[in-house]
Amino acid sequence: MNLKNNATISCDLLVIGSGIAGMVAAARAASLGLDTVLTGSSSGFFLTSGLLDFLGVYPVESSQVLESPFNGLDQLRKQNPDHPYSKIDNKTILESLDFTARILSSGGLEYSSAKNTNVNILTSAGTFKPSFLVPQTMIKGSSIGSGKKKILLADFKGLKGYSAALIAQALKRRHMDVTTVTIQVPQLTGDFNVMRMAALFEDDAFLHRTAKQIESSVQDREILGLPAVCGIHNSQDSMKKLENLTGLDCFEIPGLPPSIPGLRLKNAFETHILKNKVRVFNNVKVAFTAFENEQILFTTDGEPFRTQIAAKGVILASGRFPGRGLAAHREVIRETVFDIPVYHPQQRSLWYQLDFFSPQGHPVNRAGILTDSDFRPVDKTCQPLCENVYAAGSILAHNDWTRLKSGAGVSCVSAFCAVNHFHARKKIK
Amino acid sequence: MFKPASSDRFNPGRLYPNPVNLILSFLNTIFQIRLFAAGKIRWLFHFFVFAGFLYLVTVHAFHQVTAVVLFDYYDPTVDPFQFLRNLFGSLVVAGCILFFLRRGLRLRVNQIKSNWGSHLKYKGLVSIILVFLIVGTGFLLEASKIISEPVFMEMVEDYSDLEEGDELEELKLFWQEKAFVSFDPTVPADPEKLKNGQVLNEVYCISCHSDIRSSFVSCLLADLMSFYGTVLNQTRVDVMLYRVHYGLCLALIVFLPFSRLNHIFLIPLSIAVKNQAPKTHHQKTAQVFGASLFACTNCGYCSQVCSVYPHFQITGNPDVLPHSKIETLKKIADKHPDVSLWGLQKGNNACTQCNKCTQICPSGIDLQTLWAVTHRIFSDNALVNNQTFFNRILPEAWADLETEPRMLIARQELVSDLIEKTDAFENCIQCTICTNVCPVVEYDSKDNDYTPQQVMNLLRLDQKHLASGTRMVWTCLTCYACQDICPQKIPVTDIILELRHLGGVRADAVKLQQTVKKRVEIS
């Protein structure tokens, strides 16, 4: 390890941001043989549900859930040519989603999709949301949408933010057959948090005790729904064991942060990219220094060791406001690394609709970086700012991911394609 | 003999000590095995003095109840008793002289050079001087009796039927030549008379008087004193010396409980009491203060092995070291007016409870318990370190203290930035990720009152002082896991450290008020 105060490293590709887009970009770059450095914060995944959406709703105003994302894609490309999905063909989209599922599997986490259709996932609010790539521990829950299953919901006494009774109430309004049971956890006293709960699921004795407590409620039930806390490192094994012990199909129900499925995603991505020799700077911010000789120079912040990074290409996957990829000021939104001009409504008063649940969504959520078809950020004249700077993920404009249910999809797809383009350009040289 | 003190804690305590232990303890005490293990040379000096003085006291001083009973031929002037008295007396003198030399020349075997014991240099000196004088005057007394003509004449009158005459002169000559008596006028030498004198000696004296030369020291002294024999005999210096010698012995008896010499009773007592495991804190306090505290002989071995000796080197606070701490405790027990409690508290807090001092203490004092009791006494009197202080105050009670006037003292120089500027913590979205990764919360959730995100929320509610009184702030490990992982980049750990500092300033102010109040009450 070089302990000089000012070390310099060079790489082919620097990925800024370690969210879904950043991780997929780094993995794709490594698979293409590029020397990759990844930098970003470690906490973003705690705020994700663990579900990877592709396209759940289109058009936004209709609030109609799409049965298959591809149904809406054609319409989207016609009506919204600036949307990230409009820059890519279906085949590549599928390839990128498939790639994501594979790298997660290599990291020990299995995700499944239902033959290119959306699945409806029950949430801890008792609502259903459409998603595409779903953790194996949650997929069985998609079958309850038919309304014909006899459902048992379990919660844990003391686990904050999750109530089986609340979910059951919502489901009963949809005329589903639901019963509930509350499991006591004697070794955790008082109110406990999800991390401690999740760690317990890796213990066989705990699984036995839990199954025993559920026993009397099993009766004629067919499927068991649990909060999404069933283990951190071996969630699939824990679920299988629980299924064997209870004799029921089991599925997890995603809920409020901190999200354990999100943590599992993070662990799986990290395992994969570290296996593939990506160099990672954890919780280190990079500051852009200069363009120089076909290289882009950065300095890491962090006393006393500052590292200079000289990269041939950059993927800007720094995210939106929570991750500080975009910074909102009174009248203007700025991009925080390169100060790339950000597309957003001209006046502050136009940022939001007055009604939070307004069907059209809020214009500010469509703000972001404009790019060319290769995902390079462009200036006002639509010319790329720099040949080797690319942008991917939620920082891109024209994508209201909360309403479209397209967040993870745009991240995976844009990251995959951006890296492909960079690699192709590099090969030509 | 070297049972670590901590093993005593698992001993429920016995009502009747078993006989083997009793015998072993007895032997341990008689031969000072603990001191032997701590330092061989010091043990040697001490054993000289101890063995010598023990013999002199039992056989010589109390001969009426010991030697006379056991040996029907006993007389102090009969061998082997005459020889032994001198032998053991010289052992005592040798030991005392070695003690003085060690003190005077500061002959210490290890690296401790600084004047860590300058205020203790003269401790216990009086006891040694007294012992030395007693034995010294004993020798002088014997010598003065040897040369004494009046004593000779008294003996002749009591134990022989000799009258003034030739035979008496012959006896006198023998005693002058062979037994150093100083006659005035000197008896003229004559080999014929000497031989007769010897015969007379065998008739009258020898049954009670062995050859005087077996009292080798007194003999030597008598020889020297005989130069002034006449004067000394006329002034009956032997009577004076007897009174002095006897008086000094009485003085010793009187002085004993108040001097370092009480260790001869207190050490066995403290070792015996130590084997009884006390059950409550009050029993512990009583035990340590009653017996062990005054069994200390200031030998200093404890400080030589103290693990936190470097703390003393840097801070210069002598109360970091056990030998000094125990003196301060004695002063407190004696209600001495000017005792530095602050120094003792700070010093005691440095103690790591490593148990080395307890293991080596030749007096067998349970030092570890003593320090624990000291710590407890400080807590009971609100003179505690801030950690303990806070752990005993509920956050709500701490917030109530806010109504009292604040006296911020020296420690406030550190500028408190993060808890005054709201933008450090206002972005907290209460996502509870910090709580979920906190190892202290994980380990201790039963006793935790507020979790990290709750502490941040307290700041958002402008409850700084309530926040600084929470247990979380004081048990934080500063592992920085929360600060690293916070999605909003809130410096959670740094804020907690600043809250500690704030609490420390507050705590000092409160303690100052309390101490002032206490002093006012006492005076």
Residues A402, A293 share a domain: yes
- Which range, of A277-281, B20-24, B137-141, averages the lowest pLDDT? B20-24
User: Does residue B6 surpass a pLDDT of 50?
Assistant: no
User: Does residue A386 surpass a pLDDT of 80?
Assistant: yes
In this prediction, residue A171 carries a pLDDT of: 94
Determine the residue type at A320.
R
CA–CA dist B37, B3 (Å, integer): 13
Residues A241, A152 share a domain: yes
Task: Please give, one letter per residue, the 3-state secondary structure of B25-79.
Answer: HHHHHHCCHHHHHHCHHHHHHHHHHHHHHHHHHHHHHCCCCCHHHHCCCCCCCCC
B444 inside 8 A of chain A by CB: no
User: A394: Cβ–Cβ under 8 A, 6 or more apart, which residues?
Assistant: A19, A21, A319, A320, A325, A368, A401, A407, A410, A411
A424 inside 8 A of chain B by CB: no
String of DSSP letters for B343-382: HHHHHHHH-----HHHHH-TT---HHHHHHHHHHHHHHTT
B234-257 residues labelled b (16+ CB within 10 A) or e (exposed): eeebbeebbebbeebbeebeeebe
Cα B519 from chain centre: 30
- Which range, of A64-73, A128-137, B107-116, B444-453, averages the lowest pLDDT? B107-116
- Given B435, B442, B486, which is nearest A43 (Cβ)? B486
Instruction: List, for residues B39-84, the tens digit of each pLDDT value.
Output: 888 889 889 999 999 999 988 888 888 888 888 888 888 888 888 8
Parallel, antiparallel, or unpaired: how do β-strands A333-335 and A326-328 relate? antiparallel
Identify the CA nearest to A26 among candidates A11, A44, A13, A10.
A13
Q: A83 in helix, strand or coil? A: coil
Chain B nearest-CA distance from A42, in A, is 6
Fold of B395-522: Fumarate Reductase Iron-sulfur Protein; Chain B, domain 2 (1.10.1060)
- Given A42, A188, A192, which is nearest B485 (Cβ)? A42
Identify the CA nearest to A225 among candidates A107, A131, A128.
A128
User: Does residue B110 surpass a pLDDT of 50?
Assistant: no
Find chain B residues with C-beta within 8 A of A196's C-beta. Answer: 442, 445
pLDDT band at A321 (very low <50, low <70, confident <90, very high): very high
Output the CA torsion sign for A131, A135, A138, A142. positive
Chosen from B423, B427, B428, B431 to mutate, greatest number of chain A CBs within 10 A: B431
In this prediction, residue B413 carries a pLDDT of: 47
Identify the CA nearest to A404 among candidates A26, A50, A25, A60.
A60
Question: Counting Cβ atoms within 10 Å, is residue B35 exposed (0-12), middle (13-18) or buried (19+)?
Answer: buried
A397 inside 8 A of chain B by CB: no
Integer angstrom CA distances of residue B506 from A52, B129, B456, B513? 51, 52, 20, 11
CA–CA dist A120, A51 (Å, integer): 11
Question: Counting Cβ atoms within 10 Å, is residue B335 exposed (0-12), middle (13-18) or buried (19+)?
Answer: exposed
Residues A267, A128 share a domain: no
In this prediction, residue A400 carries a pLDDT of: 94
User: Does residue B382 surpass a pLDDT of 60?
Assistant: no
User: Does residue B112 surpass a pLDDT of 90?
Assistant: no
CA–CA dist B188, B197 (Å, integer): 13
User: Is residue A258, in this structure, part of any structural domain at all?
Assistant: no
Q: What is the mean pLDDT of residues A289-315?
A: 86
Instruction: List, for residues A244-280, the tens digit of each pLDDT value.
Output: 999 999 999 998 888 999 999 999 999 999 999 999 9
Task: Please give, one letter per residue, the 3-state secondary structure of A155-206.
Answer: EECCECCCCHHHHHHHHHHCCCEEEEEEECCCCCCCCECHHHHHHHCCCHHH
Residues A207, A342 share a domain: no
Helices assigned H by DSSP within B381-426: 386-391, 395-400
User: Does residue B417 surpass a pLDDT of 80?
Assistant: no
- Please say whether the beta carbons of B213 and B222 come within 8 A: no
A307 inside 8 A of chain B by CB: no
- Nearest-by-CA chain B residue for A262: B433
pLDDT band at A1 (very low <50, low <70, confident <90, very high): very low
Residues A224, A284 share a domain: no
Phi-psi region of A158 (alpha: psi -120 to 50; beta: other; left: phi over 0): left
Asked if B442 and A42 come within 8 Å (Cβ–Cβ), the reply is no
Where is the domain boundary, A196, A226, A253?
A: A253
Exposure on the CB side of residue B459, measured as CA atoms within 13 A: 29
Identify the CA nearest to B79 among candidates B217, B221, B208.
B208
Q: Containing domain of residue A234, as a range?
A: 124-253
- Please say whether the beta carbons of B260 and B297 come within 8 A: yes
CATH number of residue A74's parent domain: 3.50.50.60
In this prediction, residue B15 carries a pLDDT of: 45
ipTM of predicted assembly, 2 dp:
0.75
B432 inside 8 A of chain A by CB: yes
- Given B431, B441, B442, which is nearest A258 (Cβ)? B431
How does the average pLDDT of chain A come out, rounded?
A: 91
Question: Counting Cβ atoms within 10 Å, is residue B29 exposed (0-12), middle (13-18) or buried (19+)?
Answer: middle
CA–CA dist A231, A229 (Å, integer): 6
Determine the residue type at B224.
L
User: Is residue A422, in this structure, part of any structural domain at all?
Assistant: yes
B36 against A98, higher pLDDT: A98
Cα B20 from chain centre: 28
- Please say whether the beta carbons of B399 and B41 come within 8 A: no
Output the CA torsion sign for B208, B213, B216, B221. positive
pLDDT band at B388 (very low <50, low <70, confident <90, very high): low
A149 against B509, higher pLDDT: A149
Identify the CA nearest to A54 among candidates A104, A117, A106.
A117
Instruction: List, for residues B312-364, the tens digit of each pLDDT value.
Output: 888 788 889 999 999 888 887 777 777 777 778 888 888 888 999 998 988 88
- Which range, of B77-91, B115-129, B161-175, B288-302, averages the lowest pLDDT? B115-129
- What is the percent of chain A with per-residue pLDDT over 70, rounded to a whole number? 97
pLDDT band at A382 (very low <50, low <70, confident <90, very high): confident
Where is the domain boundary, A253, A284, A316?
A: A253
Find chain A residues with C-beta within 8 A of B488's C-beta. Answer: 322
pLDDT band at B5 (very low <50, low <70, confident <90, very high): very low
In this prediction, residue B10 carries a pLDDT of: 37
Residues A211, A91 share a domain: no
Question: Total structural domains in chain A?
Answer: 2
A193 inside 8 A of chain B by CB: yes
Consecutive H or E run containing A326: strand A326-328
Helix axes B166-179, B149-159, angle to 10 degrees: 130
CATH number of residue A139's parent domain: 3.40.50.1860
- Please say whether the beta carbons of A411 and A96 come within 8 A: no
B35 against A89, higher pLDDT: A89
Where is the domain boundary, A253, A282, A311?
A: A253
Chosen from A195, A200, A281, A284 to mutate, greatest number of chain B CBs within 10 A: A195
User: B85: Cβ–Cβ under 8 A, 6 or more apart, which residues?
Assistant: B55, B56, B59, B60, B76, B142, B215
Find chain A residues with C-beta within 8 A of B432's C-beta. Answer: 193, 257-258
CA–CA dist B502, B498 (Å, integer): 6
Residues A20, A83 share a domain: yes
User: Is residue A64, in this structure, part of any structural domain at all?
Assistant: yes
User: Does residue A116 surpass a pLDDT of 90?
Assistant: no
Q: What is the mean pLDDT of residues A363-382?
A: 93
- What is the percent of chain B with per-residue pLDDT over 90, rounded to a whole number? 15
Phi-psi region of B104 (alpha: psi -120 to 50; beta: other; left: phi over 0): alpha
CA–CA dist B459, A380 (Å, integer): 44
User: Is residue A118, in this structure, part of any structural domain at all?
Assistant: no
Cβ neighbour number for residue A113 with a 10 Å cutoff: 20
In this prediction, residue B379 carries a pLDDT of: 67
In this prediction, residue B138 carries a pLDDT of: 92
Q: How many helices (H) and strands (E) does chain B have?
A: 29, 0
User: Does residue B522 surpass a pLDDT of 70?
Assistant: no
Q: What is the mean pLDDT of residues B206-217?
A: 85
Q: What is the mean pLDDT of residues B232-254?
A: 90
In this prediction, residue A304 carries a pLDDT of: 60
In this prediction, residue B114 carries a pLDDT of: 47
**Is the preceding omega at residue B188 within 30 degrees of 0, hence cis?**
no
Q: CATH: 1.10.3470, 2.60.40, 1.10.150, 1.10.1060. Which one for B273-381?
A: 1.10.1060
User: Is residue A283, in this structure, part of any structural domain at all?
Assistant: yes
Identify the CA nearest to B500 among candidates B392, B440, B414, B403.
B414
Instruction: List, for residues B432-474, the tens digit of each pLDDT value.
Output: 899 988 888 888 767 778 899 999 999 999 888 889 889 899 9
Q: What is the mean pLDDT of residues B146-157?
A: 87
pLDDT band at B185 (very low <50, low <70, confident <90, very high): confident
Residue found under tokens 């939620």 = A394
Helices assigned H by DSSP within B431-491: 433-437, 439-444, 452-460, 464-468, 471-475, 481-485
Instruction: List, for residues B465-500, the tens digit of each pLDDT value.
Output: 889 889 899 999 999 889 988 888 899 999 999 999
Consecutive H or E run containing A422: helix A407-428
- Given A192, A257, A283, which is nearest B445 (Cβ)? A192
- Please say whether the beta carbons of B240 and B335 come within 8 A: no
Backbone torsions φ then ψ of A405, nearest 5 degrees: 55, 60
- Please say whether the beta carbons of B177 and B189 come within 8 A: yes
- Given A189, A190, A257, which is nearest B433 (Cβ)? A257
DSSP A315: E
Backbone torsions φ then ψ of B385, nearest 5 degrees: -70, 160
Residues 201-240 on B with a CB inside 8 Å of A are none
Integer angstrom CA distances of residue A115 from A72, A98, A132, A416? 16, 12, 9, 21
B488 inside 8 A of chain A by CB: yes
In this prediction, residue B1 carries a pLDDT of: 35
CA–CA dist B196, B6 (Å, integer): 73
Chain A nearest-CA distance from B421, in A, is 20
Q: B9 in helix, strand or coil? A: helix
In this prediction, residue B384 carries a pLDDT of: 60
CA–CA dist A196, A234 (Å, integer): 15
Residues A64, A17 share a domain: yes
A223 against B519, higher pLDDT: A223
CA–CA dist A111, A99 (Å, integer): 11
Identify the CA nearest to B141 among candidates B248, B257, B243.
B243
- Which range, of A296-305, B188-197, B296-305, averages the lowest pLDDT? A296-305
Chosen from A46, A266, A270 to mutate, greatest number of chain B CBs within 10 A: A46
In this prediction, residue A123 carries a pLDDT of: 95
B484 inside 8 A of chain A by CB: yes
